[in-house]
Amino acid sequence: MSTDLNDKTPRVVEHYVDPEPFNPAVTEDMTEEQERFYQASQWKIMWWKFRRHKIAVWSGVVLILFYMCVPFAEVIAPYGANTRDSQFLYAPPQPIHLFHEGRLVGPFVYGMTSEVDMETLQWVFEDNTDEVQKIRFFCTSAPYEFWGLFDASFHLFCPAEGGTLFLLGTDRLGRDQFSGLVYGARLSLTVGLVGVTISIVLGLFFGGIAGYFGGIMDSAIQRMIEILRSLPELPLWMALSAALPVTWSPVWIYFGLTIILGLLDWPGLARAVRSKLLSLREEEYAKAAVLLGAKPKRVITRHLLPGFTSHIIASATLSIPSMILGETALSYLNLGLRRPAVSWGVLLNEAQNISVVTVYPWLMAPVIPIIIVVLAFNFLGDGLRDAADPYK
């Protein structure tokens, strides 16, 4: 240390000049990634954010698979929804096997022998392990009318010639449960979509009026929303659908049901729309539009709506499951759809008597897709809601 202090030779500080030209905006420069982020559209950013929510993405995939049943029910189901097989009443599910006596055969089911147990007067089914019925793929079997347009008989998979393929068993009249589920998806899954559309239209209308005009309109609509929200939904749904005339065809009953489901669901959406509108109305760009003489309709649709479309989609997704459940509950109670219309609730109707269910548990099968779909919609809605505000 002391040597340093006594060192009298002057130190030369090296002069350093950066040969690069000076960029005054150096601190504001963005990395490529940031640039991409700031230039992306709102929807793109939402997509990025949504993709990070793994469970939501997978739920979306599951839902897409389920929704494939809507257009292609006839092709996916091996039997018709109301086809009866009087030989197989209350037949149990046929498990799919791969190996027969130690060697690979490919997916097949064993044939079933049926006989009546004279003591309990029940049909008893037993696997006949000699009879291997190979499942056929991309095949033709039971004919159907595709979309009611033309006749066809192509199926994704079908039972062996002269054999049976009851993946989830049959019901009281020998109708295949699996085919019932596939056809039922058509009504059960769309009931929520149509209902939500109705609820969005009503919610936008009332919420838009309340939020934009304020004043007496606002408080009147607010009171209405409060009253509707304080009513228990299901009993009202039950009463309304009991009011649908029995003489109506299934198609009309279906549309009546969707309207009923949408009719009681809009208050929640309207409230969200209103509060969002109230805050967006105060934004500068909205004020500017008003000052420039734009009419209320234009201000609402062109300037305010795009600001909260994403929120509406997210909250609408979250109300679809309750509608699906509503339909299921109503049909289960005989107050909604009835045969020949097939929905998951209609199928579940067979499971109303618990002592029957204890003997034939496969009648509960519709419970599984319902729970999966409801869960998936909940996760998807959660993911969408998080993504709806991408700048957070």
Partner 1 sequence: MLYYIFRRILMMVPTLLVISFLTFLIVELPAGDYISNQIAALKSAGESSSVAKLEFLRHEFSLDRPFFERYLIWVGLWPGPHGLDGLIQGNWGWSFEFDKPVEEVVGPTLPLTIVLNFATILFVYVVSFPIGIFSATRQYSWGDYGFTFLGYFGLATPNFLLALILLYLFNRWFGLSVGGLMDPQYIDQPWSPEKAMSVLAHLIVPTIVIGTSGTAAMIRRLRANLLDELHKQYVTTGRAKGLKERNLLVKYPLRMAINPFIADIGNLIPSMVSGSVIVSVVMSLPTVGPVLVSALQSQDQFLSGFILLFVAILTLVGMLISDLLLAVLDPRIRLGGRAGT
Smallest gap from residue 357 Cβ to partner 1 (A): 5
Give the binding site for partner 1 (CB under 8 A).
226-227, 229-236, 238-240, 242-243, 245, 321, 325, 328-329, 332-335, 348, 351, 354-355, 357-358, 361, 364, 367, 370-371, 374-375, 378
H or E element in which residue 153 lies: strand 150-158
Residues whose CB falls within 8 Å of the CB of residue 222, separated by 6 or more in sequence, listed in order: 210, 274
DSSP 79-141: S-TT---TT-TTPPP---EEEETTEEEEEEEEEEEEEEETTTTEEEEEEEEEEEEEPEEEEEE
Report how far residue 33's alpha carbon sits from residue 142's, in angstroms, rounded to the nearest whole number.
56
- Single out the residue of 273, 269, 281, 268 nearest to residue 208, CA to CA: 273
CA angle 201–202–203, rounded 5-degree value: 95
Q: Give the closest residue to 369 by CA, choosing from 187, 108, 146, 238.
A: 187
CB of 175: closest distance to partner 1 in angstroms? 20
Nearer of residues 156 and 357 to partner 1, judged by Cβ? 357
Q: Which is nearer to partner 1, 78 or 262 (CB)?
A: 262
Q: Would you state the structure tokens that stand for residue 264, as one six-digit string?
A: 């009681």
What is the nearest approach in angstroms of partner 1 to the Cβ of residue 177? 16
Output 86 or 230, the one with its CB closest to partner 1: 230
**Residues contacting residue 187 through CB under 8 Å, at least 6 positions apart:** 254, 327, 337, 341, 342, 343
Least separation in angstroms between residue 369's CB and partner 1 is 11
> Closer to partner 1 at the Cβ: 168 or 300?
168
Picking from 316, 288, 317, 313, the residue whose alpha carbon sits closest to that of residue 303 is 288
Q: Least Å distance between CB 226 and partner 1?
A: 8
SS3 222: helix
Q: Shortest gap between Cβ of 272 and partner 1 (angstroms)?
A: 14
125 forms beta bridges with 114
Residue with tokens 């008597």: 353
Nearer to partner 1, 63 or 109 (CB): 63
Three-state DSSP state, 306: helix
Cβ closest to partner 1, residue 116 vs residue 227: 227
- Measured from the CB atom, the residue of 264 and 277 that comes closer to partner 1 is 264
Closer to partner 1 at the Cβ: 83 or 275?
275
We find the least distance from the C-beta atom of residue 242 to partner 1, in angstroms, to be 4
Q: Report, in Å, the least distance between residue 171 CB and partner 1.
A: 16
